[in-house]
Chains A and B, each alone.
Chain A
């Protein structure tokens, strides 16, 4: 592989990454991977990737067509063409998956056109190492655009486990008392019970929460957990929190099924830690919420 074709692939990859990230950013599914407060960093990354892609294409082009980008108008027009994939995916006209396929086909075509005759000859010109690094950068792009997103679920619990310790005190500024009891989510309840376990005002309030079901081996037969994953920074630090549910049909609830639990709240002790407890009046299956994770 020679220098210009290496540059070309680099630019395609960089533009591909930028369009994947911008698609995530614009439809909010970026929250499936990182906390909202880091979104601006991704926006910065996209703009840097954009300019890297433009520069990469410029230098490849000037290698083949000497006066390709010599006037400001040409530069602006070309830049617009180069960043068009990003605009297309971020406005959701094209999915990142389709875009990844189009970009790789285009890349292949251009490479063949440029190097068809001296491909074999120039292959050794560039270090093998450099080609490995191209493969590595392709990895997140392929994974991100090809593998459909599925939130962490009860199966991840087998390695991650329930975090029975309270959710970070740093987020204690929010006052869960001001939230209507039936609108509190699982995280609000966990915080509240940990903070004021003896407050009789809380015990007996009605809860209405959505989470996934999980049968913990430490629980009694008709008991199960209704849980959510909490993300402090990115999915890598996700930890599950949950409330113990008591329900007559508890045995028949399927692990990993999203459920809506309504009932009276009290507290219980599990492994020496205080955990909110719901005496369920109803447990019904529901669809996965648009925002599967909770964010403190």
Chain B
């Protein structure tokens, strides 16, 4: 395997972020080791918050990786393209609505999109899906409805998220091919996972013989029910193996993100943020910063935003509700696993500018 070349090319891609997470983890650990009453208090606060984020997110991550495993095993290579229109606008629009079919939140969507790209999903569709899925999905729509009722906040949250995701998707449509925006490792990784499938396949030859060609597949369907059954069993086994690998691969970004978020919550006073957070411009910035720091799952952030309704204007609450699901610490880390650094910067900057523009103009011109 060309591991060496691979790691050399990725030095600037994601290592700094990963190193940062590790560094913070080490810093927090050393703080914990210094036996001082104050730091042990901080240490238990950090532990609680970290575990809270992790335990809340792990089911969603698992569901996302299982979906990704299912796509890998049951969706045929390059067949996806046929389902999407050629027009980049329409395909981005489709992408922004795909969350209604695949209800995943920001933790689950990354592994799924990665897998779908490999199966030939058009770039604008995938990017729009990635951006929109954490909000445009039945669970989040329901939780926002419960929290804010059937009204402008719900519609504006959905509308602006769709707008931002379609625009971002369109920006990425100018990419000539997938390699321009995706990290090359995802292709090498998927090859290597195929390879490892083969190498465990030779030890027990009944494994993984299904993915080779259409012919063997047709022949197998002719066999009696029992073999079909065991074939499905084998396929499911393969799904679980892929899920296991992906859990570890994406999981560390989730954990890295949770470490940073918990450290920020433990050491950066939110009281300070909120107390300076008045005024039409600053309040939007504060809410966006809070969204990034808190890193709450999009399925529940509406309830958290409710707590701020008395303190902040509608525009700033909206900034929290639209920006948070697209960009927070753990999603940035997980994006960086799939996309090149430049793409990640676009994926953070475009939504950021849009949300700033929308929310600040709402605060200034339309006191809601």
Chain A interface residues toward B at CB < 8 A: 3-4, 7, 10-11, 14, 17, 21, 24, 30, 32-34, 38, 41-42, 44-45, 48-49, 51-52, 55-56, 58-59, 62-63, 66, 127-130, 132-134, 136-137, 139-140, 143-144, 147, 149-153, 155-156, 158-161, 163, 165-170, 232-239, 273
Point out the residues of chain B lying under 8 angstroms from A160, CB to CB.
Answer: 265, 270-271
Point out the residues of chain B lying under 8 angstroms from A56, CB to CB.
Answer: 241, 244
28 interchain pairs, CB-CB under 8 A: A21-B55, A33-B48, A33-B51, A33-B55, A34-B52, A34-B56, A55-B240, A55-B241, A56-B241, A58-B237, A59-B200, A62-B203, A62-B204, A127-B3, A129-B7, A137-B247, A140-B51, A143-B50, A147-B47, A152-B48, A161-B274, A167-B307, A168-B303, A170-B147, A170-B306, A233-B301, A234-B52, A236-B53
Which of B52, B147, B203 touches A168 (beta carbons < 8 Å)? B147
Q: Which 10 A-B pairs have the closest CB atoms?
A: A235-B52, A161-B271, A136-B252, A233-B300, A234-B52, A155-B41, A45-B59, A41-B59, A165-B310, A150-B44
Point out the residues of chain A lying under 8 angstroms from B309, CB to CB.
Answer: 165, 169
Judge whether B104 is part of the interface by a CB distance below 8 angstroms: no
Point out the residues of chain A lying under 8 angstroms from B54, CB to CB.
Answer: 140
Point out the residues of chain A lying under 8 angstroms from B297, CB to CB.
Answer: 233
Which of B168-176, B255-263, B279-287 interfaces with chain A? B255-263
In whole Å, how far is A89's beta carbon from the nearest beta carbon of chain B? 15
Contact code string B287-318 (vs A, CB < 8 Å = 1, else 0): 00000001111001101101111110000000
In whole Å, how far is B263's beta carbon from the nearest beta carbon of chain A? 11
Give Cα A161–Cα B274 distance, bound, in whole angstroms.
10
* Chain B CB within 10 Å, residue with most, of A32, A44, A136: A136
Say whether A236 contacts B52, CB under 8 Å.
yes
Say whether B249 contacts A66, CB under 8 Å.
no
Which of B42, B66, B244, B265 touches A14 (beta carbons < 8 Å)? B244
Which of B49, B60, B237 touches A235 (beta carbons < 8 Å)? B49
* Chain B CB within 10 Å, residue with most, of A66, A143, A151: A143
Contact A34:B296 (CB < 8 A) given known A55-B241, A232-B307: no
In whole Å, how far is B82's beta carbon from the nearest beta carbon of chain A? 31
Judge whether B367 is part of the interface by a CB distance below 8 angstroms: no
List 19 extra interface pairs beyond A155-B42, A159-B267, A165-B311, CB under 8 A.
A17-B58, A24-B55, A42-B59, A59-B241, A63-B200, A137-B248, A140-B51, A143-B51, A150-B44, A156-B266, A158-B269, A169-B309, A234-B300, A235-B48, A235-B49, A235-B52, A236-B53, A236-B294, A239-B307
Give Cα A237–Cα B51 distance, bound, in whole angstroms.
12
Judge whether B243 is part of the interface by a CB distance below 8 angstroms: yes
* Chain A CB within 10 Å, residue with most, of B48, B54, B203, B270: B48
Number of interface residues of B (CB under 8 A): 73
Point out the residues of chain B lying under 8 angstroms from A166, CB to CB.
Answer: 310
Judge whether B218 is part of the interface by a CB distance below 8 angstroms: no
- Beta-carbon nearest neighbor of B25 in chain A: A139
Point out the residues of chain B lying under 8 angstroms from A235, CB to CB.
Answer: 48-49, 51-53
Give Cα A233–Cα B303 distance, bound, in whole angstroms.
8
Say whether A10 contacts B244, CB under 8 Å.
yes
Say whether B48 contacts A52, CB under 8 Å.
no
Say whether B52 contacts A33, CB under 8 Å.
yes
Give Cα A144–Cα B291 distance, bound, in whole angstroms.
25
- Beta-carbon nearest neighbor of B41 in chain A: A155
- Beta-carbon nearest neighbor of A157 in chain B: B271
In whole Å, how far is B144's beta carbon from the nearest beta carbon of chain A? 11
- Beta-carbon nearest neighbor of A130 in chain B: B248
Judge whether B178 is part of the interface by a CB distance below 8 angstroms: no
Judge whether B251 is part of the interface by a CB distance below 8 angstroms: yes
Say whether B244 contacts A234, CB under 8 Å.
no
Point out the residues of chain A lying under 8 angstroms from B53, CB to CB.
Answer: 234-236
Point out the residues of chain B lying under 8 angstroms from A21, CB to CB.
Answer: 55, 58
Contact A137:B255 (CB < 8 A) given known A52-B244, A63-B200, A66-B204: yes
In B66-102, which residues have CB < 8 Å from any A CB?
66
Say whether B304 contacts A233, CB under 8 Å.
yes
Judge whether B196 is part of the interface by a CB distance below 8 angstroms: yes
Say whether A163 contacts B307, CB under 8 Å.
yes
Which of A7, A24, A139 touches B255 (beta carbons < 8 Å)? A139
Give Cα A14–Cα B240 distance, bound, in whole angstroms.
12
In B33-48, which residues have CB < 8 Å from any A CB?
38, 41-45, 47-48
Point out the residues of chain B lying under 8 angstroms from A130, CB to CB.
Answer: 248
* Chain B CB within 10 Å, residue with most, of A48, A58, A128: A48
Point out the residues of chain A lying under 8 angstroms from B268, CB to CB.
Answer: 159
Contact A156:B45 (CB < 8 A) given known A63-B203, A163-B307, A233-B303: yes
Contact A133:B62 (CB < 8 A) given known A59-B200, A159-B265: no
Give Cα A273–Cα B274 distance, bound, in whole angstroms.
15
Give Cα A144–Cα B307 distance, bound, in whole angstroms.
29
Point out the residues of chain B lying under 8 angstroms from A134, CB to CB.
Answer: 248
Point out the residues of chain A lying under 8 angstroms from B204, CB to CB.
Answer: 62, 66
Give Cα A291–Cα B50 distance, bound, in whole angstroms.
19
Point out the residues of chain B lying under 8 angstroms from A127, CB to CB.
Answer: 1, 3, 7
Say whether B147 contacts A140, CB under 8 Å.
no
Point out the residues of chain A lying under 8 angstroms from B199, CB to CB.
Answer: 3
Which of A7, A140, A161 touches B270 (beta carbons < 8 Å)? A161
Say whether B48 contacts A136, CB under 8 Å.
no
